[in-house]
Structure 1
Amino acid sequence: MRTFLTLCGVLALIGASYAFKSQKYQKPTDHVTSDWIYNGTFRTRVDHFRAQDGRFVDFVYHANLNFTGDEGPVYIYLKDAGDYTTRWIESGLMVDIARQNNGSLFTFDYRFFGTNRPTDNATFENLQFLTTEQILADLAQFVSYVKLFHDVYGGNTIVYGAGYGGTLATWARKKFPHLIDAAWSSSGIYELTVASLSVYDSLSYSIYRTRGADCRNLIQEAFEEAERLIIADDADELQELFNLCNPINTTSPNDVSSFFQNYFDLLVLYIQQQHADGVHDMCDDLEESTLPPLEAFAEFVRFALVGEECFDATYDNIIAERSNTSWNQPGTLSGSKQKSHYLKILKDVKNILGRQWHYIQCTQAGLFQVTDQWTWLPNHAELGYQAQVCINVLGPNYVFDFIRAALETLRNQYGSLYLRSSRTIFTYGEIDPKMYNGITYTDDPESVAISIPGHGRASDMSSIQATDSAELQAVKERIIELVGNFSVPFRP
C-alpha cells in the first residue's frame, strides 16, 4: 500500500530541563548470559552438501534444563539477526510454557555468527558456506544431537523465533517434519524478492493509523529540508545537526544515500520496537516542539536515540568496515558486546549490518528496502545503491544478478508469501512496517495467523504482563494454548 504523507517520531529539546518522552523507551542494557545456563558443543559439517569435504567443526550451544521432565518437549529458539544472547531461553513466553510442560530450552548462534565460526576468516570464498540451507542443516544436526545427548527422545520438538529466526523456524518445520513437530514464527519475513518498496511506505501508514497525518507530515518536512541542505551543499549544517563524525559529501550519490537510509531504518526499527505507545510519545514530543521540523528531528535522533557519540554515516566507512575479512574486526564482530558509535536503539542492528549478514542479503535473502520517485521519503535508497554496496563489500568475484536465481530457488522450496506449513503459528504486529513482507493469512487447517493491534515487532515473545493490552494478552494466551497442544506427542 502506497502512501504519500509522512511518518512521525521525533522530538525537540526545549531547554536543558526538557525531557524527551521517548527516552523512557530506550533499549535496555546489553543482556548477559546467566551463570545457570548450560553451555555445550555439538559437531556439524562445514559443508553439509558435499561429501568430499570431510571437515567438521564444533559449535557452541546453550540450554535451560531447569524444567526438563520425562517425555517433556524440546523447545529450540532460532535467533533473530542481531540477537546473540540467551534471553529467550531464560525468560519470556516460551520459558513459561516450558515450565508448564516440563520442557527443555535450547539455542545456538548460526554459523559465522557469534563464536560459531567454521572458517579462519570471512573471505568471499569462505562465506559460500553461509546459506539458509547450511544453517537449516546445522539445525537438523543439532536436533538429532539434543535428542541423543540430552536423552529427550520422548517429547515433541518445537522451534520458535522472531524475525529471521521466525522465518527459519517455519522453513525448518516444512523441510524436516520428521524432526520438528511444530513452529512458532513471530514477525517472520517470507517475501522472497530482490527489493521491497512496502517497508518505507508502510512506515508512513504505521504512523498515520496510530497517530494521524500531522506527525507524519512533520517527518516528511524534516527529510525534505535535509534534502534541500544537500542540494545547497550545506554539509556543515547537517554535520552539526546530526552530530556526524565526518561531513557527508553532498556531491556523492552514495554518501547521500548512506546518510538518508541510516535514518529511514532508524525510524523503522524504532516503531518495530516501541509499538503504538512509542509512536505517540515521539509524536507528542515532535508536535510540542517549537523548533523547525528538521531541527526537532535531529534533536530526537541525537538526544533520544544516538547519545553523545558522533555517528559516521559516510559511504566509505560502511564499505571499509564490512570489507575487512578478519575476525574480531568491527565489520565481522557480530554477536559481541563491543561499544559502537552506532545508534543506541539500533545497538543490535550494528551486528546485523556486519559483513556476514550483508553476505546473506546480497547472495540469497534479498528484500532490500528501497525507495522510488513515488515514495513519501526522499528517493535516495534505490536498488542501484544497494547493488553497489554489495559489489563494493564483497569484491570483484561477486555478481549482483545471481541473487535472482538464488531467490527463485528459495521460492520453489518454500513458496514465499504463499508458504504452507502445518502446525505453525504466525503472529505479527499490525503497525510493523515489515508486516506485509510476512504471512498474515494461512489456509492450512493445522496452522493459524494472528494479528496484534497497536504493536510492532515480536511483542508476543515476552511473558504475560500487567501492562499488556487486552489484545496482546489474548494473543499470548492463544500461543500458550497452541504450543501446549503441539507439545503433546501423538499416540496412535
Structure 2
Amino acid sequence: MLRAVGILLIIVAAGDCLKRRLGLREPLVETLNLPKEQWFNQKLDHYKPTDLRTWQQRYYVNDTFFNGSPNSPVFLMIGGEGEASAKWMVAGAWIEYAQTFGALCFQLEHRFYGKSRPTEDMSVENLQFLNSEQALADLANFIVSMNAAYNLQNGNKWIAFGGSYPGSLAAWLRYKYPHLVHASISSSGPLLALADFRDYFEVVKASLGTSSIDCVSSVKMANKHLTKLLTDQSGGELLTKKFRLCSPLDVSNDNDVSNLAESLADNFAGIVQYNKDNRITSDPASKITIDDVCNIMTNTKLGDPIDRYAEVNNLLLRVTNQTCLNYTYEESIKDLSNTVWSNSSTEAGRQWTYQTCVEFGFYQTSTEESDLFGPNFPLKFFIQQCRDIFGEGFGKELLEEGINRTNTIYGDLHLKVKRVLFVHGSIDPWHALGIISSQNPDAPAVFIKGTAHCANMYPSKNDDLPQLKEARKTEIHYLKLWLNQDD
C-alpha cells in the first residue's frame, strides 16, 4: 500500500505480500461527538455523458467554525486508499487551521474505498471506474454541489488538503480544476509515477543510518546471510524456524522466497515511514521506532545479524498478536483476487493494487546483491502479481502505458501549478517521488528534517520538533497569503 491511507485515511492492508507503503494513519480521538456520515449522489462515469448511472458516496461535514460569512474559506480533506474516518473531522493540523480561519470543513471518501462502493463487486470490469481521474472528477462534482447546497459564494474559497496519495490528488485537483479549488496543501504526495521505485529503500537505508551506521551494516549482513540460506532446502528449514513462518519454506518456490524477503524488509520500511509520526494511537506497533529496531540490530548479545533480523520480526509478531508469519504467495494472491465486497469497510488491498498496476507502479524493489535488502524482490515479482490477480493482460506493457499516461496528464515532477504548497519529511521514503524544493514562489516546498510520512498533518504537540513547528507556521503563512488573493 502506498502504505496507506490517504489523506485522511487509514492504513490499507494489502495482504502479507503486497505492501505499497502509503497512507495517512488515523489519530486517536477521545470523544464520542463525531459528525455523522452523509451521502452524496455521485456519477459513475464522468467521462461518458450518456452514462447516467449514479451511486452513493460517503462524506463528512464539520461546520462548527463556519459563521456563514461570504469570505470564510471551505476546507476539503481528500480521501485516499482506505476508509475515511470521522476522527479527522475533529483532529489534526487542518482542524486547527479551520479554527483559525473560520472554515467550513468537508471530507470526501475516495470511490471504491471504505463504504463508497460504486459497483456491485470489484471485478476487473467494474474496477475500470477506479482511477485518479474519476476521483478528481468526483471531487469537482462534489464542490459544485456543495456550493449550491450551502449557498457558498465566490469569496468562500476552497482549500484542498491531502496526505500521501491524496497529497498527490490535492496538487492535481488544483492543477485540473483551478476554477473550483483556490489552493492546496499537498503533504507527502508522490507526483512521479514509476514502476521500479528502488530509491524507496535507499531512503530507508539513509533513515536507519540516522540512528546508527552499524545498524545499516547489520541489516545488510543479515540479508546476505538470508540470501545464502535461500539457496538450499536446509537453509529454508532454518529460516522457517528462525522467523516463525506459518508453513515450511520451499526455497525452490521463487514467489514464496520473494514474498518472504519483501515481508521482512517491510518490517523496517513500515517503521521508518511512520517513525515518531506524532500520532496519538493505541496501536502498539506504532510505538516502535528506528532507534528501537537499530538497538536490536546492533545488539551482539542477540547473536549474529540474521538472529537480530529475526528478533525484529519476532518483536512485530508479538506486538501485533500474531503467532507466526504468513508469507505464502498463493494465499496472498487468493485474498487479493476476491471480487466480493467485504463486510469490513477497511479492506482495500485489491483496489489499491489495481491502481498500482494500471496507473502508478510505485513498486519498492530490491534487485541487486549490493542492495540493503538483497536481490530477492525485483520488479518482475510485482508485475507477476498484477497478472496473477487481474489477468494476463495486466503485465509490463499495460503498466508502462499507465505510468506514461499518469505522468503525461499530471506533469510528474514538472507539474506547473500555482498556489500549492508541497510538504515532505526527510525520513519518509516517499519524498523521493515528490517535490522537495522549489524556485517557484507560487508553488513552494517545505522539506522537514527528521520527520516521517504526513507528520505535519497530525495534531500539534508542545514537544514537536522545532522544524515541524516551523513547517506548520509556513502552512498558516501561505493560507493567509493565498486566501487574500483573488486572481
Whether the TM-score (by the shorter chain) exceeds 0.5 is yes
User: What residue in structure 1 maps to residue 56 of structure 2?
Assistant: 58
Identity within the alignment, %: 27
User: What residue in structure 2 maps to residue 110 of structure 1?
Assistant: 110
Q: Which amino acid aligns with 2:35?
A: I
1:244 positional shift: 2.3
1:46-195 aligned at under 5 Å gives the runs 46-69=44-67, 70-71=69-70, 72-82=72-82, 84-153=84-153, 154-195=155-196
Distance 2:28 2:309 in 1: 26
Residue 283, structure 1, aligned to residue 291, structure 2: no
Deviation per CA, 1:69-120: give whole Å up to 9, x if none.
2232111111343453233322111101101111011112211111111111
Distance 2:159 2:203 in 1: 32
Distance 1:33 1:324 in 2: 36
User: What residue in structure 2 maps to residue 449 of structure 1?
Assistant: 445
User: What residue in structure 2 maps to residue 358 of structure 1?
Assistant: 353
Q: Which amino acid aligns with 1:426?
A: F
Distance 2:104 2:178 in 1: 19
Distance 1:437 1:184 in 2: 17
Q: Which amino acid aligns with 1:462?
A: Y
TM-score normalised over the length of structure 2: 0.86
Distance 1:205 1:90, change over 3 A: same
Distance 1:397 1:180, change over 3 A: same
1:219 positional shift: 1.2
Distance 2:425 2:262 in 1: 23
TM-score normalised over the length of structure 1: 0.85
Residue 45, structure 1, aligned to residue 43, structure 2: yes
Identify the range of structure 1 (475-484 vs 230-239) with the bigger mean alpha-carbon deviation. Answer: 230-239
Distance 1:193 1:300, change over 3 A: closer
1:203-218 aligned at under 5 Å gives the runs 203-208=204-209, 210-218=210-218
SS at match of 2:435: coil
Distance 2:301 2:458 in 1: 38
8 Å Cα contact 2:219-2:372 kept in structure 1: no
Residue 325, structure 1, aligned to residue 339, structure 2: yes
8 Å Cα contact 1:248-1:313 kept in structure 2: no
Distance 2:409 2:464 in 1: 37
1:241 positional shift: 2.5
Distance 1:414 1:90 in 2: 32
Distance 2:26 2:50 in 1: 46
Distance 2:388 2:98 in 1: 46
Distance 1:266 1:109, change over 3 A: farther
Distance 2:395 2:31 in 1: 40
User: What residue in structure 1 maps to residue 8 of structure 2?
Assistant: none
Distance 1:203 1:281 in 2: 15
SS at match of 1:328: coil
Q: Which amino acid aligns with 2:299?
A: E
Q: Which amino acid aligns with 2:306?
A: L
Distance 2:248 2:162 in 1: 39
From 362, 369, 373, give the equivalent of 1:367: 362
User: What residue in structure 2 maps to residue 411 of structure 1?
Assistant: 407
Distance 1:64 1:426 in 2: 25
Identify the range of structure 1 (184-193 vs 218-227) with the bigger mean alpha-carbon deviation. Answer: 218-227
Deviation per CA, 1:134-167: give whole Å up to 9, x if none.
0110010111122122333341101111110100
Q: CA RMSD in A?
A: 2.2
* Count of residues paired in the alignment: 445
Instruction: Return 5+ residue gaps in structure 1 as ranges.
Output: 1-26, 337-350
Residue 295, structure 1, aligned to residue 307, structure 2: yes
SS at match of 2:37: strand
Instruction: Return 5+ residue gaps in structure 2 as ranges.
Output: 1-24, 278-287
Deviation per CA, 1:40-82: give whole Å up to 9, x if none.
1111111111122210112111111111122321111113434
